[in-house]
Structure 1
Amino acid sequence: MTNLYSIDAYRSSHIPTLPPGGHPKMDRAFQRLPWGHYQSPVVPNTMKAQLAYACLFKEEQDAEDGFPWGEAVFTISRGFFIRLQSALYMLYLMAALGLAISAFGVLILVFAILSDNPSLKDFINLIDALKWFYAVLFGCFFGGKYGRLFLASLNEKRLRSDPTGLYRREGLVRIKLKHGMFEAPFIEFDAYRIHTPSGRGGRYYNLLLQHRYSNTQLWMKGLVTDAMNPKDINAYWSMIQQYMDVSGPLPDVPIFEPFRQRDPVTEAADRESGRDPFFWRNMSNDQWRGEYESDYQQRLQHADFNEHSYHSCILDAHIQGRGLPLPDGPQGAMLA
C-alpha cells in the first residue's frame, strides 16, 4: 500500500540536495520558519471548526471524500467569494455584538419609562425611534449568517475545480494562476510568518509559502487566518509539515481523523498504537473546552519555537548556499 506515495513525496529523512535560491528581502522583513523539529500541531483556536468538520463524518468508519481537507489533498481556498464569505462572517459577528450591547441600553430605556408613569404612547415612540436601527442590525445579522452559508453552497463546485493545495502523496504544491497552473515540489518552498497591522494596535499573523526559485506564493489562509498569536502560525506550520511528510503519520488533529485509515503510514501507526479511530469525532465542544482546551493552550504557549532557528533547519542543511557550499557553477535563483 505504500506505493500510493510518489517517489518524490516529501520524506524528512531523505531530503535531496537542492540548488541555491531564496528571497533575501523576505528574509529581512519577515521570519522564515525552520523545517523539522515538529512541535504542537494542534492550533487550539481552530478546534471548534475542526471538530465541526470531523463530525460531518461521525458515522463513517472509512470516509472517502474529504473536502477541503483529506488524507491526500489539503485544499487552500482562495478568491473573491472566499473573501466575501469572510466579510459576511465578520458582519454577522459585529451585528451579533451590536445586538447584545444595544439590548442592555434598551433595557435601561424601558426601566426609565416604567419608572415615570408610562403610557402606551411612550412605548410606541420608543419602538418608532429604534425600528430602523434594529432593522439594519437584524439585516446585517441574518444577511451575514445566511448569506455566508448560501455563498458557500454556491461556491463549492468552483472550489472543487481549483487544484490549489498541498498534495501529500505526490509531495507537490499546486497553485492555480490566471493563465495556467504552477506546480513545484513541497521542498522548493520557504515558509514565512507574515505580519500585518490589525488596526487595533496589534498584528495579524499568517502563513505564506514562497517558492524559493520564483516569485510564486501561496497564502495558507483558510484553517488559520489572521491569527493574533504568532505561535498559532508556528503550530500551523508544524501541522503542514507533518501532513506532507510521508515518513510519518498524518497529524493527530480532528480534520484528518476521518481519513486516517486511508493513508497507509498513518493506518499502520494507529494500528500499532491502538488509537481510538473516533477520538476527536466523539468529542463535543463542551468536552473540548472543559477537558482539553486549557492543556493544549498551555502546550502551545510553552512550546519554544525559537529553540530551533533556521540555522538548524533540516531543509537548509541540504540547500546549496545555506547549509551546503555553493557549486562552482551555481544554479537556481536568488531573487529580491
Structure 2
Amino acid sequence: MDLAFQRLPWGGTHNPIMPNTIEVQLTYARLYENDAESGFPWDDTTYLIGNGFLRGLQGFLYILYMSVGVGLIASLAGLAIAIISLIIYHQNISDFIDLIDSVKYYFGILLGFYFGGKYGRILIAWISEKRQRANPTGLYRREGLVRIEKGKAVFEAPFIEFDAYLVHSPSGRGGRYFNLLLQHRYSKHQLWMKGLLTDAMDQKEVYAYWEMIQQFMDVSRPLPDVPIFEPFRHRDPVTAEWDQRTGRDPFKWRKISPESWRKHHEQTYRERLRATNFHQACILDAHIQGRGLPLPDQPQGAMLA
C-alpha cells in the first residue's frame, strides 16, 4: 500500500469541512428538526459504511439518473429547435406529427431510464433498509473500534490499528478520482470509506475527510462541527460541555439551506480548504507497531461469529 498510494498522517490541522459533501450533509441534518435521539447511518456513537451489491446498485442508478437527466435536457433543447424550425419554415401539421413520431421511442427510452434511476434507487433503499441497518460495518466512537462485515462473520479491531490511505483511480477524463481507504495494519482487512465522500476530484477533500474521521473517533474531543453530527451533539458529554462553554448555536448548520450554502458560504469554505496545509509529520509513527515499535506476534484484530 505504501508503494502504490499515499499514507495519510495521524494528527492534523482540524479542518473537517468537505465542501463537496455539505449539501448532502445539510439534507441529512435537516431531517431532524429538533435535537435527535438516534440517527442512521450517522450519529454521535456510530459512523456506518454501507457496502455490498445493493449499495453499488444504488450508486449506479443515481449516476444513471443524473447522466440521463443531462442527456434529456440536451435532447429537449434540440427538439424545441426542430419544432420552432417547422413552425417558421413549413407550417405543416403533418411534418410536426412525423417529427414527434420519429422521436417518441427515443424519448420514451430516455424517460424510462430517468425515472427508473430516480425512483429505482429509492425503492432499493426502502427494500434493503433492514439489511443495511443490520450491517455493522463502520466506526464506533465510544468503543474505539472498527467493524467490517465479511460474509457471516465480522472483523473487529481497534481504530488505532488502521492506517488511512489516499487512493486514486482514473476518472476517464484525463484526471483522477480520490477516495479514502482504511487498511488494517496487521492483516489484509480494508474498509473503503465511501459512506460520505465518493470519487472526489480534489485531494484535499479526502484529507479533510480523514481529519473528520479522526476527530469523530477521539472521545476526548467534541464531535466534528459538520452538519451530519449536529442533531446529536447534545447526546455526547464532551461535545455538549464544549457547546455550552463556547455558546454554539444548536441549529448553526440546520439554519442554512442548500441554496444559502451555495450563495453565501461555499466559496469561503472552498478557499479555507485550499489554504489548509494537511502535510505534516505523523504524530503516531514512533508509537505504532511495525514502525517505531516491534510488530506483534499475532494480528490484534479478531473475527467474530
Shorter-chain TM-score: what band?
over 0.9
Structure 2 contact 286–293 (Cα < 8 Å) conserved: no
TM-score calculated relative to the size of structure 2: 0.95
The answer for the alignment partner of 1:231 in structure 2 is 204
SS in 2 for 1:242: helix
Of 17, 21, 25, which aligns to 1:50?
A: 25
Of 113, 131, 134, which aligns to 1:140?
A: 113
> Partner letter of residue 314 of structure 1?
I
Runs of at least 4 residues off by over 2 Å = 324-327, 330-333
> Partner letter of residue 192 of structure 1?
Y
The answer for the alignment partner of 1:131 in structure 2 is 104
Gap runs ≥5 in structure 1: 1-25
- Listed one character per residue, the Cα deviations across residues 310-333 of structure 1 (whole Å, up to 9, x for unaligned) are xx21221212442x3548xx6467
Provide the rounded CA distance (Å) in 1 between the counterparts of 2:298 and 2:243. 40
Matches within 5 A, 1:1-336: 26-58=1-33, 60-61=34-35, 63-306=36-279, 308=280, 312-322=281-291, 324=292, 326=294, 331=297
Structure 2 contact 68–114 (Cα < 8 Å) conserved: yes
Provide the rounded CA distance (Å) in 2 between the counterparts of 1:331 and 1:292. 51
Provide the rounded CA distance (Å) in 2 between the counterparts of 1:320 and 1:130. 65
> Partner letter of residue 316 of structure 1?
D
What do you get for the CA RMSD once the two structures are aligned?
Answer: 1.3
Structure 1 contact 73–168 (Cα < 8 Å) conserved: yes
SS in 2 for 1:277: coil
| Greater RCO (Cα-Cα under 8 Å, separation 6 or more) | 1
> Partner letter of residue 36 of structure 1?
G
Provide the rounded CA distance (Å) in 2 between the counterparts of 1:229 and 1:207. 12
Q: What is the count of residue pairs matched by the alignment?
A: 299
Provide the rounded CA distance (Å) in 2 between the counterparts of 1:29 and 1:121. 63
Provide the rounded CA distance (Å) in 2 between the counterparts of 1:321 and 1:226. 30
SS in 2 for 1:208: strand
- Listed one character per residue, the Cα deviations across residues 27-56 of structure 1 (whole Å, up to 9, x for unaligned) are 010000001013320100001110000001
- Listed one character per residue, the Cα deviations across residues 52-95 of structure 1 (whole Å, up to 9, x for unaligned) are 0000101x23x111100000000001010110000100110011
The answer for the alignment partner of 2:302 in structure 1 is none
Q: What fraction of aligned residue pairs are identical, expressed as a percent? A: 57
SS in 2 for 1:243: helix
SS in 1 for 2:7: strand
TM-score calculated relative to the size of structure 1: 0.86
Provide the rounded CA distance (Å) in 2 between the counterparts of 1:152 and 1:103. 30
Provide the rounded CA distance (Å) in 2 between the counterparts of 1:320 and 1:91. 45
Structure 2 contact 165–181 (Cα < 8 Å) conserved: yes
- Listed one character per residue, the Cα deviations across residues 248-293 of structure 1 (whole Å, up to 9, x for unaligned) are 0000000000000000000000000000001111111111112211
Alpha-carbon distance, 1:305 to partner: 1.6
Structure 1 contact 38–242 (Cα < 8 Å) conserved: no
